[in-house]
Amino acid sequence: MHRTTGRSAIFAGLAIASVALLTACGTTSAGGGGGEEATELGDYEGSVSILAWPGYVEDGSNDPTVDWVSAFEDETGCQVTSKTYGTSDEAFTLMKTGDYDVVAASGDASLRLVASGEVAPVNTDLLKNYDGIFDFLKMKSWNSVDGVSYGIPHGYGANLLMYNTDVFTTPPTSWDVVFDKSSEYAGKVTAYDSPIYIADAAVYLMAHNPELGIENPYALDETQLAAAVDLLKAQRANVGEYWSDYLKEIQAFETGDSVVGTTWQVIQNSVTTGNTDVVLPEEGTTGWSDTWMISSQAKSPNCAYAWLDYIASPEANAQATAYFGEAPSSQAACDFRDDCESYHAGDADYASKIWYWSTPIADCLDGRTDVECTDYSAWTTAWSEIKG
Amino acid sequence: MASSPSIERAVVPRPRETTARKISVFLSQHARVRLAFLLSAPLFWLGLVYIVALVSLLITAFWSVDSFTGEVSTQFTLDNVITVVTGSLYQAVTLRTVGVALLVTIVDIVIALPIAFFMAKVAGPRLQRILVIAVLMPLWASYLVKAYAWRSVLSQGGIFEWLVRPFGGESPGYGLPATIITLAYLWLPYVILPIYAGLERVPNSLLEASSDLGAKTGRTLRTIVLPMLWPAIIAGSIFSFSLSLGDYITVNIVGGANQLLGNLVYTNVGAANNLPLAAAIALIPIGIMIVYLTAARRTGALENL
């Protein structure tokens, strides 16, 4: 009897302790603005910590020939520590720790970072390389809020339609080969494995079902989302596999397990069998445009500004974007690259066909006020249901 | 020499009163304190790793998350659990996951039984050792390497297709069959080893006696070997069943467009940043395993382990 009470006391104690612990570290209050923008720069702090997509911050440790960090360190004396992340959501969670001075965020994370006060406004007057950046990348909905800039553009790319040239004797010009006509390629269609892919279906519906009234693929009300979900559920029957790891898609196209589907330019460049090609379909497409942002809790704001300026400088930007496989942010960077053409860098017409990733939020991004839009969590739920 | 034996007292020098000595004396006199010290390290570990982790999982399932800022709100709500229990998506995925785990377990047992029997009862000591090493060998390679190897084996124009094409067969492609094949391969050592150990404990004399009394092979296996082996089979099945239940990497690599419970947890932690819903989904496999273990206990298998 005595022993039992002793043991249950231990358990009760543990349970209470764990509850207390969890409640204590459960939530931190979210600020609104995210600090003031800097008006002038001071001395370098000697170090800067950076959170970025893989391949954005290379110091030669992965490949000795790929290194644009050392030059920055020599120039400014700011020692760089970097961490990479795999998804925008991981970046969002990591930024909440406050351990990073700088983050490279895609459009599906940047607005959330601003809203939760994790990043501070960026005074672009302090960045001398800001002027050279393509105008169609500046002050967009994914890198500014209410006319305040929250970062400097890095690089951009489009989600393209890749097809196997053995199967397609005439190149497709429309996304219909993965949607309405996908049954012809049943089991060999591939698609990007993320809720944000719903926007690809919305882009298709914008062109083919104008009566739905979709103005922006990231601003879908209930009916519009339902239509996109129906389209994707029909596609699901013919999908061989979804991809999120780009190496997986390269292999699937090389073996012929996938013959048509959405892709990135870098994947087309990496396929070795030579029987694939890519096209930007007539409906337009989705894409990404990444932004370097500064944490509102940055411990080294001066080094952070120095990094933003450095990574936007033509040579560093050319190295970084070429390594990742996307278009650079300025024309001058193309002087340091020989493949700008294949990425259509600076082609404003091409860029205008791209709907850059943005976080879907309840306040419709297209400006509608009479209806509430579906937010990212609704998209996530819908995506799970589509996959079934 | 009739002198009385001199009684010599062996004088043990009194040990010096060091601090260590004092502690040691104290501990030897207080059994409960000694026990407390001995147990505190493992109990702390157990508490931290299992109890706290499980309790926090349980509690998180009753929280919710702000969809835009991604902050977890610690308000108690049953929404997640209700969603998971009543949602048709979760029911379908649960059924699929359990189906895959059951099939993997059956395939593994069917393959493991003859192999283990050969290892334990037929092979000589030398061959036996070689076979044990051979069974363990795949465990030296990384899980990912093996899963990706199956991806290339099962791909179009892969080895599998090359093998079965002459007989008019074709590769199952990526999908649930590929998932079952790969998982069955991955967990096979975990099923063979307990069954092999179980068979080692079946005395040869019993088999000989059975045969002396006129029982044929089938009858000996059914009435002598199988009842004694049952706990080992259950032990092996617990490994393959529980490991399959939580897997999400293999199905990502060879499962085509399919998703299992693990994938739902993964997307909710990662892509959706919805920890509470992920916790609620994670309760399903825990529930299934509790039912499974209770059922295994009922058969008396766990006592004989």
Measured CA to CA, the distance from residue A87 to residue A93 in angstroms comes to: 10
Kindly report the nearest CA distance between residue A106 and chain B, in angstroms.
14
Q: How distant is the Cα of A197 from the closest Cα of chain B, in angstroms?
A: 12
Q: Where are the domains of chain B?
A: 20-60, 87-298
Instruction: Confirm if A335 and A129 have CB atoms less than 8 A apart.
Output: no
Contact of A176 with A256, CB cutoff 8 Å: no
Q: Which residue has the tokens 């096209």?
A: A279
- The reply to whether A87 touches chain B by the CB within 8 Å rule is yes
- Chain B residues with CB under 8 Å of A251 CB are 151-152, 155
Length of chain B counted residue by residue: 305
Q: Which domains does chain A have, with CATH numbers?
A: 47-156+289-347 (3.40.190.10), 160-263+361-387 (3.40.190.10)
Residue A254 near chain B (CB below 8 Å): no
- Measured between beta carbons, the chain B residues lying within 8 angstroms of A118 are none
> Measured between CA atoms, how close is B254 to chain A, in angstroms?
9
B270 touches chain A (CB under 8 A): yes
Provide the residue-wise pLDDT of chain A in tens; the chain has 388 residues.
Answer: 344 444 444 444 444 444 444 433 333 333 334 566 777 788 899 999 999 988 889 888 878 888 999 999 999 999 999 998 877 777 888 888 889 999 999 888 888 888 888 999 999 999 999 999 998 889 888 888 888 999 999 988 889 999 999 999 999 999 999 999 999 999 899 999 888 899 999 999 999 999 999 999 999 999 999 999 999 999 999 999 998 878 889 999 999 999 999 998 888 888 889 899 999 999 999 998 899 999 999 999 999 999 999 999 999 999 999 888 889 999 999 989 888 888 888 888 888 888 998 888 888 888 888 899 998 888 988 998 999 8
- The minimum CA-CA distance between A52 and chain B, rounded to whole Å, is 16
Do A90 and B270 make contact, defined as CB atoms within 8 angstroms?
Answer: yes
- B103 φ/ψ angles, rounded to the nearest 5 degrees: -65, -40
Structural domain B87-298, CATH architecture: Orthogonal Bundle (1.10)
**Of the partner residues A18, A257, A359, the one whose CB lies closest to the CB of residue B55:** A18
Nearest to B69 among A115, A195, A387 (CB): A115
Compute the distance between CA of residue A155 and CA of residue A236 in angstroms, rounded to an integer.
31
Chain-centroid distance of CA A68 in Å reads 22
Interchain CB contacts (distance < 8 Å): A and B: 117
Residues of chain B positioned with their CB less than 8 A from the CB of A359:
68
ipTM associated with this complex: 0.73
Quick one: DSSP state of residue B51? Answer: I
- Pairwise CB contact (< 8 Å): B51 & A18: yes
Contacts of B71 in chain A (CB under 8 A): 27-28, 30, 116
Name the token pair of A100.
């990073």
- Quote the CA–CA distance of A124 and A37 in Å, as a whole number: 10
